[in-house]
């Protein structure tokens, strides 16, 4: 008799009142904005640490009852509202920053950025020395100015060496 094993991952449902956590987790802004990280830490500090500060993994592993409790907690909801307001304002202000910097980029311009390494955040377990930190800073500056970009790097698995 052959037994087939399946791995099942149950993804907790985000309550509507805090559904923006998914958007925050998928945006690299969390890597340099502590108020975003604090939203995740407030839900479950131990899980945040065990997920190596990776918000996407965190949202896949958190107990749904903690999400439900946060969705009913006025203090957490106020903190969430402040962060989401800041986040949307930040995301919508890039064009103004680009105009203020007086950088004439034609409509629809896409910048390609190539670098061997990128230093974004500790939740990305990749090597990054000085060049990687500089590349991460360039990515943040481009984000601040809403410059459309594709970022390309190299990734080598350590077990292949």
One pLDDT digit (tens) per residue for the chain, 161 residues: 778 887 777 788 999 999 999 999 988 888 888 999 999 999 999 999 999 999 999 999 999 999 999 999 999 999 999 999 999 888 777 656 556 666 667 777 788 888 877 777 766 666 677 777 788 778 877 777 777 888 888 766 666 54
Q: Are 148 and 112 in contact (CB under 8 A)?
A: no
Is residue 9 one of the residues assigned to a domain? no
Domain match, 102 and 88 both = no
What's the half-sphere exposure (Cβ side, CA atoms, 13 Å) at 143? 19
Q: How many domains does the structure of the chain reveal?
A: 2
Burial class, 67, CB count within 10 angstroms (exposed 0-12 / middle 13-18 / buried 19+): buried
Q: Which of 63, 92, 121 is the last residue of a domain?
A: 92
Which structural domain, as residue segments, surrounds residue 68? 16-92
Do residues 38 and 79 make contact, with C-beta atoms less than 8 angstroms apart? yes
Distances (CA, A) of 52 to 2, 116, 155: 37, 23, 19
């Amino acid at each position: 008799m052959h037994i087939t094993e399946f791995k099942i991952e149950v993804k907790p449902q985000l309550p509507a009142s805090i559904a923006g956590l998914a958007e925050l987790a998928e945006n690299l802004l969390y890597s340099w904005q502590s108020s975003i990280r604090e939203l995740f830490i407030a839900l479950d500090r131990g899980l945040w640490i065990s997920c190596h500060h990776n918000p996407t993994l965190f949202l896949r592993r958190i107990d749904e009852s903690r999400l439900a409790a946060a969705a009913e907690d006025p203090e957490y909801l106020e903190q969430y509202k402040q962060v989401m307001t800041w986040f949307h304002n930040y995301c919508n202000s890039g064009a103004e920053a680009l105009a203020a910097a007086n950088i004439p980029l034609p409509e629809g311009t896409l910048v390609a950025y190539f670098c061997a390494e990128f230093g974004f955040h500790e939740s990305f377990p990749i090597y990054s020395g000085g060049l990687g930190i500089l590349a991460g800073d360039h990515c943040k500056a481009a984000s601040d100015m809403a410059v459309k970009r594709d970022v390309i790097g190299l990734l080598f698995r350590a077990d292949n060496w």
